[in-house]
Amino acid sequence: MSSVPDRSEIDEDYTWDLESIYASDEDWEAAYDAVAERVDELAGYEGQVTDDAETLLEVLELRNDIMREVSTVAAYARMRRDEDTTNQQYQALTARAQSLGSDAQSAASFIEPELQELTREEFDEMVASESTLETYEHYVDDVLRMKPHTRSSEVEELLADLGEVMGGTGEVYTMLSNADMEFPTVDAPADDEEDAIEITQSNFTNLLKRPDRDFRQRVYEGYFDEWSDMRNTVAAAYKNSVKADVKTAQARNYDTAREAALDGPNVPVSVYDTLVETVHDNLDKLHHHADLKRQALEVDDLQMWDLYMPLTGDEGPDVEYDQATEYIVDALEPLGEEYQSRVAEGLESQWVDVYENQGKQSGAYSGGTYDTQPFILMNYQDDISSMYTLAHELGHSMHSELTKEEQPYVYSGYEIFVAEVASTVNEALLTNHLLDTVEDPEFKKHVLNEFLERVRSTLYRQTLFAEFEHKAHELEEEGEPLTADRLDELYGDLKEQYYEPAVVDDRIAREWMRIPHFYRAFYVYQYSTGISAALAIVDGILPDGPGSDPERDAAEDYLEFLRQGSRDYPLELLRVAGVDMSTSEPIDRALATYGDRLDELEALLE
């Protein structure tokens, strides 16, 4: 039987260096106590925020200092927990850090309502007398923009206090899916060295790429049957997560939860609708992709356990971690030597927690804070897909690095809408590099297949997810109960539209249960817009790209976009990089590229 190693068995060189944040848990406790004491300092400014320019500057800088410290305390606790989600000690630290964050938000909740008592002209007068306030011009503009949706200081404090409770369903889901659920062990393929293979959250998709079709079916059915046993529990968690979104939006005077979610980053709902409409107009390409899979597998019906099989018909070449890092660093050459060398240095400095271990948080993410190095969680599986995921997360990390070097803390974050651009630019550059430099034709086929799967799973699949959560929230807003049966029906109908040539069974209708991003509502559509913008940017960066312009340094424009952090609204930031996401043009271009690459691989296979 194959088994997932214990964390103690992982070579330290392939783990992240959390000791660079706090040398010990005792140091974390000291930092926690210190910032917890500082939270109360904010209370002294209530009612005085706009008294004069000096007071306004003091309270904004105190709030920023506290939030910086809280974010570091919380990041350490969360990442320690994610090393082993069954560890009760770090579950407790994470819960304490979340409570501290909620307390800090609550303590600061009076600031923005008081700021909104100012007019823009009054703020400009304060800037004239205290020039340091000029730094906060965009921040104040954003706060004033949100005045119709900001409540009294008492209500804002209550909403902040309830933040931890309102987000509790996501925490329940995380613990259920990563710590408590035990997926079955299935008989291995006949030619496998193992007798049986343990299904995990991390290896499930990878197992569905195995060439033995009967094995894939066993994995698929075993995995989803385990979810079926939790069906009512997960439905209750998701129902209450949606309800919390709707109630919060109503409390802030929005008509819908979607409007509330998109208004935060100042993205019009028309962008969301344009994405869905454009993808629906191009479903024929996805249907063609699915039919090519059926032909490649030489089967009468394409089943859901066949969807992850590559068009090349086998598992694909192994790509060990060290080889993947070499490919990635080389692929980033078009972004300049400084960017490239910083990625190489980070990979040698324990930015990445590389391999899966017992209890580890599934998936991948880029973490860290304004005051730490980047940290990347991976569950690397020695394949092309994992290599692309590493490139993706490095894009996030470098975005954070370049932003915090150029921007003050108030603009050091960035909206997810633009964050997914940085990650997918790295993926697109990797694709072009591998197709240009790797001589093995079989390897090239797999690279093309990976590109197609990335577009399928990012642009198409995430748009399907976006439709699902939009419709689920609409049902809640219309008063229709979100039962497990209704959610299955809703998801199954969408799956049938998107994968028309395939057999949509009852198990795949429950796939909504395994998507953790649904507990962060209206998040996933940004993966789709992100890959569209990224492909347009890369078209301009590459010398022979269809969007290249000899009069423009597209790479420098892109790096300038990364350096801006959140100093402007997302759509304006992307215009710095040469992309207009208020139109369908970048989405159409991305889907046209998908269609061209699909034809290219089809020709190679013939």
List residues with catalytic annotation: 393
- Enumerate the β-bridge partners of residue 187: 196
DSSP 8-state class, residue 350: T
Element (H, E) at 253: none
Spatial neighbors of 357 by CB under 8 A, at least 6 apart, are 4, 5, 6, 7, 9, 10, 83, 84
> Residue 550 and residue 556: Cα distance in Å, rounded?
13
Are 274 and 588 spatial neighbours (Cβ–Cβ below 8 Å)? Answer: no
Element (H, E) at 197: strand 196-198
Q: How far apart are the first and last CA of the chain?
A: 38
> Residue 456 and residue 446: Cα distance in Å, rounded?
15
DSSP 8-state class, residue 511: G
> Residue 176 and residue 311: Cα distance in Å, rounded?
34
- Enumerate the β-bridge partners of residue 196: 187
Question: One-letter amino acid identity for 514?
Answer: R
> Residue 242 and residue 255: Cα distance in Å, rounded?
15
- Cα distances (angstroms) measured from residue 353 to each of 13, 75, 198, 244: 9, 14, 22, 33
> Residue 209 and residue 217: Cα distance in Å, rounded?
11
Write down how long the chain is. 606
Helices vs. strands in the chain: H and E counts, helices first? 25, 5
Burial of 380: CB neighbours in 10 Å, binned 0-12, 13-18, 19+: buried
Residue 438 φ/ψ, nearest 5 degrees: -85, 125
Structure tokens given for 161: 């206090």
